[in-house]
Structure 1
Amino acid sequence: MTLRFGLIGLGMMGRHHARVLREIDGIELVGLCDAMGDPHGVAGDTPLFSQVEELIAHGIDAAVVAVPTIYHEPVGLALAEAGVHTLIEKPVAHDLEAATRLVQLFEANGLVAAVGHVERFNPALMSLRQRLAEGQLGDVYQIQTRRQGPFPARIADVGVVKDLGSHDIDLTAWLAQSPYETVAAHTAFRSGREHEDMISMTGRLENGIIVNHLVNWLSPFKERLTIVTGEKGALVADTITADLTFYENGTFQGEWDAITAFRGVSEGTVTRYALEKREPLKSEHEAFRDAILGTRAETVTLREGLETLRIAEAAIESAKLSTSLDVREGRA
């Protein structure tokens, strides 16, 4: 069975969606939609519409929404009402109320609805999650993430927490298989915009793992690291290069009494794993296709996206109030 796909939004992210959709078996990209036209020249012979209603009328089974976040709700609701399975770029919506309306309508209509937290499909993080599940680190103590880089001119309607930080919130809960219990954050506004461009966030998951997230648009270099520390060592995933490295705790005994009296860990063997490095966006679209066909369920659901947005908003609120917040109530 070949699914007829539409794509709404042909900006920086939309052009990558268009390329990948054309590469996947079982998918035919039959229509594109963008009120601003085709700035990157990706349409080719594919029909291009200016309104989502025109795309729906063209006849589609599924759609990818890559418009600015503020438009996720109206576009998503139109697709849900039309019975179209939908993948919405992250964050799921600009606020919790809009996200809740989207979740409720898609669920009520029995549709497959996913959110584009593409980091879950990064080979390094997929391998990391499997290794944690197999107990390679033993008890997990801490998950740290660093997601830093220059300001992207394409982002205007949300701050760094909902845009970039949502990746770290989602992947942390997914890796640990535990929701957040508390969050505490500090934000900065250094770019003259109404939204934050830097956050330092700490917290604890319900299973006791402590977390730290450093996210900003103020660094002249790009960094995407996830560091998981446990009783047997640490696993470090670089999602730019899709490399995963294991830093094993050493087992040798030292002879220096002053040092050996400290019952900590020592440096051990370092191993970088050889991974099959498939493009995460392609894996994400294949998972969405398979969810529609009912052959597997590995998408990031809209309800999971709602929960991630809830934690992101709690982090922003924590920074405003300068206090730690318990986020166990109100779970999606």
Structure 2
Amino acid sequence: MSGRHPVRAGLIGLGMMGRHHARVLRAVDGVELVGVADPCGDPHGVAGGLPLVDDVDGLLRLGVDAVVVAVPTAYHEAVGLRLAEAGVHALVEKPVAHDGAAGCRLVEAFESRGLVGAVGHIERYNPALQSLRARLEAGDVGEVHQIATRRQGPFPARIADVGVVKDLATHDIDLTAWLVQSGFRSVFGQVAHKSGRPHEDLVAFSGRLEDGTVTSHLVNWLSPFKERLTVVTGSRGTFVADTLTADLTFYENGTVDTSWDAVAAFRGVSEGSMVRYALDKREPLLVEHEAFRDAVRGDGPSRVVTLREGLSPLRVAEAAIESATTGRPVDLSRDPAPASVVPA
């Protein structure tokens, strides 16, 4: 990046996620964090010697090229539209917006002006899932039969405006469709409210992708431990990705010969060898910010998750909530998401 002007970046939202963005923005080559904003101040002391302003207009007065939006989901639309109006690129934390209509307005605002609009679906930058996707594309698991995810942990005090479906399950929805490059065709969900908060804190839902893959997802804010697992089962074996530790393990289907035909017919698969892959474990948030920097600069093929791509997991999340409310599965083909929501 030597010899080039750095991207002048701002950050709005200095909560739990904002403090991590501030740390990483300071570490990205070719990016200069020039100011931070939050109307509630700086609870984690991330500003240091940087200007601390109250709102997005204060950041704009600092002459920013790009802004990371880490405010509560309810404010994504208003902040994003103001940035687009000012001609400033944005990386918006997921979910892209509080509902699909707001998300569509954000997409139009950025695309119509030729601006980079990205959404922070950080799991796509996790080394375990990046390796898994490459191995699925290479056919290492054979035909994919099922994808199951578990994302459990205690309630994060930072969340007040959306429930566990839009805040957490959108990770699993996005990574599932991205891994096999196939969108959701249908979903059926159940939610629960166990902690006295206005939004759901537990969801279990199943789905079917356009390619026929069956999926299941268990997500909650009620567990006293953190779990982030993605299990992909195929005709040749099963991959298990732990995105907390960025570990990827493959359990191969064994081949056990038997001369007893009646047993052979019903045996199914058996245990084979197990391989744990050695991966280059770079911090996903850093890789995400590097991709955003490159997109802002126009350096090579874009590696960001676009705002348009962010519409699809939001739509599926809303369908899961709708299903839980009605007690019936939701056919997503009746209201398809905008084109190109599953990236190449």
TM-score range, shorter chain: over 0.9
| Cα-to-partner distance string for 1:35-58 (whole Å, 9 max, x where unaligned) | 011110111111111121011011
Question: Is 2:329 aligned against 1:324?
Answer: yes
* 1:274 paired residue number: 278
1:95 matched residue in structure 2: 99
Q: Does 1:154 align with 2:158?
A: yes
Which SS does the other structure have where 1:222 is aligned? strand
* Amino acid in the other structure paired with 1:121: Y
Alpha-carbon RMSD across the aligned residues, in angstroms, is 1.1
Distance 1:253 1:183 in 2: 39
Alignment of 1:48-87 (within 5 A): 48-87=52-91
**SS of aligned partner of 1:221:** strand
CA contact (8 A) 1:93 1:99 kept: yes
- SS of the aligned residue for 2:225 comes to coil
2:39 aligns to what SS in structure 1? coil
After the TM superposition, which residues 276-315 of structure 1 pair with which residues of structure 2 at under 5 Å, given as runs? 276-294=280-298, 295-315=300-320
- Give me the whole-angstrom Cα distance separating, in 1, the residues matched to 2:220 and 2:264: 39
Letter in 2 for 1:56: L
Task: Determine if contact 2:311/2:337 at 8 Å carries over to the other structure.
Answer: no
Residues 222-250 of structure 1: per-residue CA shift (max 9 Å, x gap): 11000000000000000000000000000
- Which residue pairs with 2:124 in the alignment? 120
Distance 1:258-1:330 versus aligned 2 partners, 3 A rule: closer
Q: What letter corresponds to residue 27 of structure 2 in structure 1?
A: E
Q: TM-score, normalised by structure 2?
A: 0.95
Identity of aligned residues (%): 66
**Conserved 8 A contact 1:30-1:47:** yes
In structure 2, runs of 5+ residues without a counterpart are 339-344
Cα distance in 1 for partners of 2:286, 2:260 equals: 53
Q: Which range is displaced more, 256-265 or 319-328?
A: 256-265
Larger mean CA deviation between 274-283 and 247-256 belongs to 247-256
Q: Is the aligned partner of 1:169 residue 2:173?
A: yes
1:189 aligned to 2:155? no
**Aligned residue-pair number:** 332
1:9-38 deviation per Cα after TM superposition (whole angstroms, max 9, x unaligned): 111000000000000111000111110111
- Report the alpha carbon displacement of residue 293 of structure 1 after superposing the two structures with TM: 1.6
Separation in 2, partners of 1:23, 1:254: 58
Distance 2:139 2:265 in 1: 28
Cα pair 1:287 1:296 within 8 Å, conserved: no
Query: Counterparts of 1:87 and 1:302 in 2: how far apart (Å)?
Result: 9
1:323 counterpart letter in structure 2:
R
Decide which of 203, 219, 227 is 2:231's aligned counterpart. Answer: 227
Pairwise CA distance, 1:257: 6.3
1:140 aligns with 2:144: yes
1:292 and 1:256 mapped to 2: Cα distance? Answer: 63
Output the amino acid matched with 2:183: P
What TM-score results when the alignment is normalised by the length of structure 1?
Answer: 0.98
Structure 2 distance, partners of 1:174, 1:186, is 23
- SS, match of residue 74 in structure 1: helix
What one-letter code is carried by the residue in structure 2 that aligns with 1:219? Answer: S
Is this contact kept in 1: 2:229–2:243, CA < 8 A?
yes
CA distance in 1, matches of 2:38, 2:188: 39
How far residue 256 of structure 1 moved from its aligned partner, in angstroms, is 6.6
Q: In structure 1, what is the Cα distance between the partners aligned to 2:29 and 2:157?
A: 34
How far, CA to CA, are the matches of 1:311 and 1:189 in structure 2? Answer: 20
State the shift of 1:258 in Å. 5.9
Question: Is the contact between residue 155 and residue 221 of structure 2 (CA under 8 Å) also seen in structure 1?
Answer: yes
